[in-house]
Amino acid sequence: MMTERFAGKVALLTGAASGIGRSVALRLASEGASVFGVDVDEAGLASTAAAIGERGGRMAWARCDLRRKAGCVEAVERAVAELGRLDVVGNVAGVNRFHQFADMPEDDWNLIVAVNLSAVAFVCQAALPHLLQTSGNIVNLASVAGLMGQAYTAAYCASKGGVIQLTRALAMEYVKSGVRVNAIAPAGVDTSMNVAIAFPENMDWKLVKPYMGHRGLASADEIAAVFAFLASEDARPVHGAIWTADFGVTAG
């Protein structure tokens, strides 16, 4: 039986149209949160909102381009205007591309860093004044790619490593406030982003295999369950943590 850990609370979630973001939106709404979803996929946002509504929950949403600071500020302002407050921020939106590093296009580097790192920073910057009022918290989606080197994903590794250090830096800066800042570092997750990845020609699979793990992919719902714990009062002592959810990939 689900609890009501988020009753009366408002959660802003990026990437809510699909994958982990959608699962987190459904999970928090099932535990009483009012959700504000952000994505560039309007049809996906509408689908997530409809699924939440069918279960008796509430989700408002907006299409915002988080590649620019203005879009991040807009997302936060619209969430607060629509739902009245802000208690949880989940930076879940992300993109990935595999490349031979020598062939990596500049546009792909800029896209990955903008969505995976800059957007996280600017959403946090815009949200923190509101979270200070509610003693709220931030949960960022990092990756084991930010904790270990992974071949063919230099931009992704750099962006997720940045998310991890951003999370730690904010945790230290706000350690005397009531705000908590944490991150989740999954390994492979069964989402459309991972299923649809295009791999470069002549890729050496022996370089990739060590970080594919031995227990398969996690489900988006499993990562959402970890998120729900970290965002809840059950995790009140947890601050500045990078929680791996990787079936032991980084244990060795």
Measured distance CA(106)–CA(180) in Å, rounded: 35
Measured distance CA(153)–CA(195) in Å, rounded: 16
Measured distance CA(219)–CA(19) in Å, rounded: 9
Triad 239, 241, 244: Cα angle to 5°: 150
Measured distance CA(14)–CA(67) in Å, rounded: 12
Report the chain's C-alpha Rg in angstroms. 17
Measured distance CA(222)–CA(235) in Å, rounded: 17
Measured distance CA(221)–CA(44) in Å, rounded: 17
Contact 76, 130 (CB under 8 A): yes
174 among known catalytic residues: no
Catalytic residue among 152, 156, 174, 211: 156
Map tokens 């879940």 to a residue: 92
Measured distance CA(140)–CA(243) in Å, rounded: 10
Measured distance CA(247)–CA(252) in Å, rounded: 11
Measured distance CA(116)–CA(167) in Å, rounded: 13
Which residue intervals of 84-118 are DSSP H helices? 106-113
Residues annotated as catalytic are 156
